[in-house]
Chain A
Amino acid sequence: MTTTTPVPTETECPPIDFGELKSECVAPRPSIMGQKRGLRSILWLSFKGIVRGLLTTLSYFRRPSTVVTQQYPENRETLEMFERYRGRLSLIHNEEGEHGCTACQICERLCPNASIIITKDKKNEATGKPALDQFIWRQDTCTFCNICVLVCPFDTLEMTGDFESSVYDRRLLVFNLNEYAGPTAGQLDKLEDDELAKAQMKPMKKYQGPVPMCGGEMDGIPKLDVEKPTDV
C-alpha cells in the first residue's frame, strides 16, 4: 500500500519565491530501513535499537537514586514552593496585624476578570481619610495573572505559595483578605491615642462580604456556616 497523497502539479501551485532565504540546512538523519541495506544488516540494526532501549530502562531500574518521583501528599512537611510562586493572594499584614491598603481600588480596576471587589469607608471618623472596609478576592474566577500585585502602589499584595485550594463548595473560594476594616498601618501610627487607634480596627471574618455566594443564602443553596474549611 502506497500513500496516495495528491501532489499538486506545477499549474496548480506556481513555484514559491521566498526571497533570499538565509537558512542553513542540516541534513536529516537516515532511518534504519531508509538506506539500501541487506536483510542481515537491517535485522541487526533493528535488534540493536530495541535492545538499547530496553537496556536504558533497565539501567534506571538498577539505579533507584535516579528516580525523580515526588511522593506529594507524604512530603507536605518538607515541600517548599519558590518564593515567586503564584498561589493564593494575600494582603500583607505587619507584626501588629495592620495592613497597608488605602482602598485606592487600582487592583480592582485593572483585574482582568473582576476577581477583586473593594468596599471602603469614605471617611474614617478618626483619620478623616478613606479607609478599607472589605477586600474581597474571588479565587474561583482568578487566573493568577499577577497584575494586581504588580500595579499596587503600596506593595500590600503578594501571591503566597499556598496552592492547596480545593474545597467541596465553590462559595468557600470567596475570601475576605483583610483581617480588620480600618485605616492603614501608617495612618494608625499617626494617631496619638492608642485606644482610638485600636477602636478603628474592626475585626473581619475570612468569609464575609456582599457577594451573594460568600456565605449568603441563595435559592436552593443553604446558608453556609463554615468559618474555616476543615482539613480532611
Chain B
Amino acid sequence: MTVEVSSLKELVEQASGDDRSPDTQEYFVNMGPQHPSTHGVLRLVLKLDGERVLRCIPVLGYIHRSIEKISEHMNYMNCVHLTDRMDYLSSIMNNWAVSKAVEEAAGIEVNSRIQTIRTIFAELERIQSHQLWWGVLGMDLGAFTPFLYGIRDREVLNDVMEETVGARLTMNYVLPGGLMADIHPNFVHRVKEFIKYFRPKLDEYDDLLTNNVIIQERLRNVGILSPQTAVQYGATGPVLRGSGVAFDLRKDHPYGVYDQADFEVPVGTIGDSWDRYWVRVEEMRQSMNIVEQLLDNIPPGDFLVKKLNSKIKIPEGRYYSQLETARGILGVFIVSDKKDEPYRMHYRSPNFNNLWCLEPMIKGDYIASLIGAMSSLDLVIPDIDR
C-alpha cells in the first residue's frame, strides 16, 4: 500500500496546467466549510471531472478547540465535562469513556446499580442519536418531512433524559466513581412509556423512508466500502458493521452490564450506504431490547461509590480504555505522572477514522452520491477536530 503525500497547492497546480483543450478538464471545488450537508464545518476539497468525483480530500481544523490540551490542566472530574463537546450526540457515552478509563486506572470499583444506569442511558442516547441521524439523512437526500418526524420522537426521549440529568445536549452525567444524580423517580415509568410509544413509530419510519424507492436507489450500491478497506482505515461502529465485519465492543469485550442483556448485532453484506442505513435502523430496535431487559432489574445501591472529590490520583503509567459510542469506538488514552491531573490525554474518536473512508467509498462516483454516502457515515464534526 503506497502512501501519497502532496500538498493541496501542488495538487491544484498539477490539475490546472497548460491544458487548453475544449474537453472537460479536471478541476477543484470546495465543498464546505459552510455547506448545509456537511453537518458542520467540514471542508471537502473535491477533484472533479464533470460531475464525477476523482478525489475527495477532507480538510480539518475549523472547529478545533484543543480539548486534549485543556484537559492537561484539569483534574479528572473536570475533564469529563469537556467530552460533552466532542460528539455531542453521544455525550453520556463520552463521559462514560473517560470515567471508565479513570476508574480502571485508579482502581475504583463501581457498583452494579451505577453500571446498569450507565448502560441504560448509553442505549437511550444511542437511540436519540440514530433518530437525529435518520431525520438528517432524509433531509440531505431532499426529503424534509423525515427530519420533523425524527426530531419529534427525539424530543420525547430528550425529555425523559432531561428529567434525570437536567440538560438536553451537554449532559455531563457520568463522573469517575459514579453518577451526578440518582435516576428520577419517574424515570423507569417514562422510559417504558417511551418504548411503548416508539416501537410503532419505527414502522412509520419504514413507511416514510425505508420503503421509498427514491431513497433506496440513492443509497443502494452507492459508497461501497469493502470490509478490508474498512478495517484498513480503522472504521468502527455502524460503518464497519455495515461492511459486514461483526465487531461490536458491546458483544466482543462487554463493559457495563451488556453481558447481562440479550441482543443481536446487525451486520450488512456489501457495505454500501443502504447497509449502513439498515444497520442503524436495526440498532434502534436492538437498543430498545437492551433497555427493556435492564429496566426492571436496576439493583439497589448508591449512585456515587465514594465521596465526591477532585483528588483522584492515578499511578504513574499509561492507560487506555474504550467503549462503543453511537458512531464507533471511542478510546481514551491517559498518561499519568502520579498527579491528580493527566500528563497527556488523547481521544481516539470514531468520526476521525470514519471520515477517511469517504474517499475510497466515493471515488469515481457522482457528487450527488457523495452526499448520500457522507450522510450514511453519520459524521459529527466537533468530534473529528476536538
Contacts and interface: CB of A to CB of B under 8 A. Distances in A.
B228 A84 contact: no
B264 A25 contact: yes
Nearest to A159: B166
A150 B180 contact: yes
Interface residues of A, number: 49
Nearest to B210: A29
16 contacts: A3-B224, A5-B360, A7-B226, A8-B229, A12-B228, A23-B248, A24-B264, A45-B213, A53-B207, A53-B211, A82-B163, A85-B162, A110-B78, A112-B82, A145-B81, A147-B81
Interface stretch (A30-38, A179-187, A190-198): A30-38
Interface of B: 1, 74-75, 77-78, 81-82, 145, 152, 155, 162-167, 170, 172, 180-181, 184, 204, 207-214, 216-217, 219-226, 228-229, 231-232, 245-248, 251-252, 264-269, 274-275, 278-279, 282, 308, 310, 360-366, 369
A56 B226 CA distance: 36
A63 interface: no
Contacts of A68: 152, 155
A110 to B, nearest CB: 6
A65 interface: no
Interface string A27-57: 0110111100000000001101110110111
Contact of B181 (A1, A84, A143): A84
Contacts of A55: 207
Contacts of B360: 5-6
Nearest to B78: A112
A121 B363 CA distance: 68
B81 A25 contact: no
Contact of B226 (A8, A21, A150): A8
A25 B251 CA distance: 11
Nearest to B222: A3
Tell me what chain A mostly uses at the interface: helix, strand, loop, or mixed: loop
B180 to A, nearest CB: 6
A218 B249 CA distance: 55
Contacts of B225: 5
B78 A3 contact: no
A26 B181 contact: no
A34 B247 contact: no
Given A5-B363, A45-B213, A85-B166, A23 B247 contact: yes
A84 B163 contact: yes
Given A25-B246, A31-B274, A34-B220, A49 B229 contact: no
Given A53-B207, A57-B208, 7 more contacts: A3-B362, A12-B228, A23-B267, A33-B220, A110-B75, A143-B81, A147-B78
A4 B364 CA distance: 6
A28 B217 CA distance: 16
B216 A18 contact: no
